[in-house]
Amino acid sequence: MEKEHKYFSKFLSYTLRHHPEKIGLTLDNKGWADVNELITKMNAHNAALTMDILETIVASNDKKRFAFNDDKTKIRASQGHSIPIDLDLQPVTPPAILYHGTAQQNLESIRANGLLKQSRQHVHLSATRETAIQVGSRHGKVVVLVVQTKQMHEAGYTFYLSDNHVWLTDHVPAEYIEK
Ligand code: HQG
């Protein structure tokens, strides 16, 4: 069951964050998909997703990657999109520092250019060193950078907190980054 949920969770991330068109799905401008349409279209693409499985994934996913609307007729990813959608994020005052986990091989370029959002809509920052280690390990030999977010905020940079508590911003200039 675990394995099956992981498969669906990956398929959902791909569909709801990056390529809804691959299964013929359309998201609205806030990233919401119609739940019945999503199930039907995933079923047509060899994924035997059901409402029960979807409810379990939304409730138990380790990072709470997906959220339903109030009456569970719609679902969206809470962050991580590469397609332009409006998550209705409100600016939030960040803590004094946040962390960013990355791979050793990115360091030189990060020192030169700061943290860039690459293919996503935002730069992702973590509240704890532990989370940053998990995020960075996906890319290679992990390095945890400390970002002086209070200083950035005071200098006028905007921060957002996704529904599943990932800190987001547009760009982190190199001068606010410490190793
Ligand atoms: C790096 C996962 C060179 C950046 C995680 C990262 C997160 C640079 C990579 C979420 C750079 C982008 C996002 C620069 C940034 N030069 N490399 N100037 N600026 N980078 O995956 O933050 O499991 O798009 O350090 O948990 O790793 O999908 O971003 O290594 O929350 O829910 O470019 O993805 O969430 O990689 O991860 P990503 P990320 P999910």
Strand partners, 174: none
User: 160: which strand partners?
Assistant: 91, 168
Contact 133, 144 (CB under 8 A): yes
Contact 65, 81 (CB under 8 A): no
Name the residue of 106, 108, 138 whose CB sits within 8 Å of the most ligand 1 atoms, as the mutation to test its pocket.
106
**135 within ligand 1 shell (Cβ under 6 A):** yes
- By alpha-carbon position, which residue is closest to atom 36 of ligand 1? 118
* pLDDT, position 179: 76
Res. 170: pLDDT tops 90: yes
Band of residue 150 on the pLDDT scale cut at 50, 70, 90: very high
Segment 50-62 mean pLDDT: 91
Phi and psi at 106, nearest 5°, equal: -90, -10
Helix or strand run (H / E) with residue 132: helix 129-137
Cα of 69 vs centre of ligand 1, distance in Å, is 27
Complex ipTM over 0.90:
yes
Average pLDDT over residues 47-61: 93
Q: What is the pLDDT of residue 26?
A: 97
**Confidence label for 1 from pLDDT (cuts 50, 70 and 90):** low
| Nearest CA among 62, 79, 82, 69 for reference residue 33 | 69
What is the helix (H) or strand (E) element at residue 77, kind and residue range? strand 74-77
Per-residue pLDDT, 2: 77
